[in-house]
Amino acid sequence: MTTTLNQDLVRHCGCGREHLRQPSALDVDPGRWRRIRTAILARDNRQCQVRGQGSPHVAADGSGAAVCGRAATVCGHVLSRALGGCDHPANLRAECKEHSDRAGAIEGNQLRAAIALVQAQRASLTQSKDVDFLTRGSEQDPAIQVASLSGIHAGQEGGHGRSNLSLAKEHARSSELIRTPGPDDSVWDNAPWLDRFRDVPPDATWPRLMSLPHPDAVGSYGEELCDQFAMRHNGAALRWWQQLAGTRILEHAADGRLVWMEYLVTVARQVGKSWLLRELAFWRLRHGAERWGEQLVLHTGKDMGILRTVLRPAQAWAQGQGWNVSRNNMEPGISTRPHMEGSVWVIKAKDAVYGQGAGNPMVDEAWDVAGTVVDDGALPTMVEQPSPQLGLWSTAHRRATGLVLQRRRAALEHIDTPRRLLLLEWSAAADRDHGDVAGWREASPHWTEQREQLVSDAWDRVRRGESVDPEEPDPMASFDTQWLNRWPAVNLLREDDPDELIATPEQWTACADADAAPDPLRLLVVAVEDDLGRGAAAAAAALTPDGRIVVGGHWFTDLREAVDWAEDTALAAEDAVLLAGASLLDHPELEDLDLTVEPAGSVETRAALPQVRALVRARKLAHDGDAELAASVLGARVPPNVTGDAMLIRGDALLRCVAWTVHRAHRERW
């Protein structure tokens, strides 16, 4: 007889119900969590409701129990998120910082106890098939098991967060250790449109890393994609992995919009990713246009030769349909109607994508494309497009830019609670030997005897000291990236590295000064930024008479509220300037403002983040101790990318506003 550790059913949640584990809005919907937090703090009169400790105040629920009663700034879970507690109001309470911090320490102890329990049960289950349930198909570190099964996530407020769980969190989020739940796992029951893929054929491989189902997804347009391919290729079918990837990419919400704003597809060489990219571009031209109007598929990548290789077969088919085909060297492409009108698929060099209002940018061999191509070129134009979607396609490379490394790491951070970014990766796990055929198959979603021979020959060349990549002189590195699809281990999220933080909690607290005020003779800088349509943020900063910079900021339910706050704040100063996210410059809410408006984007962010960090460490920055502001600043991670520039791996709209205003105000010092 064996015993199974049941980590899925939560029996002691504060809501009083037995339920399965579920993600908290704090992890998956920051805008909704802010509304929940506001409501709970108001319900509890902004008094800490932790019972039995501190001053004998009466509980807000009228029970007469003694509660702490001190000023509360945190909305906490009675049964923590780490142990499966839900967001029901009965499981939420207002907490002061001290009790919230103490709860975080308790969580750490509970996690360590759970790890010990898993270790003990693993020892008794090593001969049992129940181990498959614990490890989700692979041998894992016990910290990973507990973290993945109990739903531990980043960024929890007030001490419930990263410091107490950093070791387990780092293990659980490392791409070298985690593995996506297999096709038999119940997590996929929430996506019935994937049922047909759960019986994996012998010549296919389940992704090693794949984002779990999106909470808003109710279906997929994948069948349309498959039918379209069959129609264009005389009844032939896409490969199993191409059908799976296309179905995940085209998942949609109840209102018909695509749920993934960005996706990253990364596989080893020569498995057919260009065929899938081509089919998705056609789907956007045909079916996307039917739903959302005329479409622009902006196709860029490493070099024009690669782009033309994908486009040419598509041009031949389109010409047979009577569509317009342009073979102009300056802008080759396809249009669904003559004269390059209607929906258009155009290829452009990676330095020529700026100014294109594309609903579907695609970046091929993205490892060799700078982040600014997307962040400054493509993304700003997507904001006003209906159901926009950015696609990144690439095999690994040792010299990869921050574009893929940043997004891949962000996707791994939230692989079990995804919201915006879909990851689909076939790659060999770190514990696979280079000559292990099982590792070759992990990186190859489509497998044949011919492919096995091809990879075997490549491995033989590497053992002879010959590189399999003409752009990579290191033979082993070339095999790792080209055939095992292993991305460089840049370790972008080392939890305790102070150089990756804007500020430590101690540094940020040391800058608190409720009496700090702007110098009335200095420029006041305000900023507004959209939060991906879920709300907005605004901040203001200025020099103080003693030479520091004082900053404040808030979240708002919509852009109108943020702009009103920024305008009211600016009117109190003699001279002010408004910084607006680049995508907002033509927004109606910014019309008729009696303010100078300047654009701000990723370029300004990269310059500003090191400046903010330096000011915090020198105690040359002041703030009033607001909890929302602290959560944004302390939750950010800003490692350098491969070129040495600051790269914002985790941050939000409020942090960007803070960074822009502080940096701009600091310039006024001179």
- Residues 45, 157: Cα–Cα separation, whole Å: 19
Predicted confidence (pLDDT) per residue in 265-298, tens digit: 999 988 999 999 999 999 998 888 888 888 888 8
- Residues 490, 448: Cα–Cα separation, whole Å: 32
DSSP state of 386: S
Query: Which pair of tokens denotes residue 69?
Result: 């009663």
Lowest mean pLDDT among 76-85, 103-112, 251-260, 463-472: 103-112
What pLDDT is stored for residue 47 in this prediction? 87
pLDDT mean across residues, the chain: 78
pLDDT score of 644 more than 70: no
Predicted confidence (pLDDT) per residue in 463-478, tens digit: 887 776 766 667 888 8
Across 132-153, average pLDDT: 34
Q: Which of 107-111, 156-160, 200-204, 621-625 has the highest mean pLDDT?
A: 200-204
What pLDDT is stored for residue 45 in this prediction? 85
DSSP state of 515: T
Higher pLDDT, 20 or 385: 385
Please tell me the total number of residues recorded for the chain in this structure.
Answer: 670
What pLDDT is stored for residue 78 in this prediction? 86
Across 351-364, average pLDDT: 74
Across 324-344, average pLDDT: 74
Domains of the chain: 9-173 (no CATH), 186-482 (3.40.50.300), 498-667 (3.30.420.240)
What pLDDT is stored for residue 338 in this prediction? 67
What pLDDT is stored for residue 584 in this prediction? 83
pLDDT score of 148 more than 50: no
Across 90-96, average pLDDT: 88
Q: Nearest 5°: phi and psi at 577?
A: -140, 145
Across 339-361, average pLDDT: 72
Helix (H, G, I), strand (E, B) or coil at 598: strand
Query: Which pair of tokens denotes residue 666?
Result: 């600091």
Q: Nearest 5°: phi and psi at 547?
A: 90, 0
Query: Which pair of tokens denotes residue 477?
Result: 């590195």
- Give every strand in the sheet of 360-364, ordered side by side: 209-210, 421-425, 262-266, 390-393, 360-364, 296-301, 341-347, 333-337, 324-326
Across 247-271, average pLDDT: 94
What pLDDT is stored for residue 220 in this prediction? 96
How many helices (H) and strands (E) are present in the chain, helices listed first?
22, 23
What pLDDT is stored for residue 422 in this prediction? 95
What pLDDT is stored for residue 505 in this prediction? 84
Q: Which residues pair with 74 in a beta bridge?
A: 95
What pLDDT is stored for residue 103 in this prediction? 63
Q: Which residues of 480-514 are buried (b: 16+ CB within 10 A; e: fewer)?
A: bbbbbbbbbebebbebeeeebbbbebebbeebebe
| Overall pTM > 0.75 | no
Cα separation of the two ends of the chain: 75
Place of tokens 């995940």: 248
Across 42-62, average pLDDT: 69
Predicted confidence (pLDDT) per residue in 362-390, tens digit: 899 989 888 777 777 777 667 677 888 99
Q: Which residues contact 204 (CB under 8 A, 6 or more apart)?
A: 239, 240, 241, 445, 446, 447
Please give the share of the chain, as a percent, with pLDDT higher than 70: 75
What pLDDT is stored for residue 588 in this prediction? 87
Higher pLDDT, 149 or 624: 624
Q: How confident is the model at residue 423 (pLDDT cuts 50, 70, 90)?
A: very high
Place of tokens 């209002």: 357
Predicted confidence (pLDDT) per residue in 191-234, tens digit: 999 999 999 999 999 999 999 999 899 999 999 999 999 999 99
Contact 541, 551 (CB under 8 A): yes
What pLDDT is stored for residue 499 in this prediction? 63
Q: What Å distances lie between residue 620 and 57, 518, 547, CA to CA? A: 39, 13, 7
Strands (E), 43-182: 57-58, 66-67, 74-77, 92-95
Predicted confidence (pLDDT) per residue in 55-74, tens digit: 555 566 555 567 888 888 88
What pLDDT is stored for residue 410 in this prediction? 82
- Residues 219, 247: Cα–Cα separation, whole Å: 9
Find the DSSP H helices in 487-532. Answer: 505-510
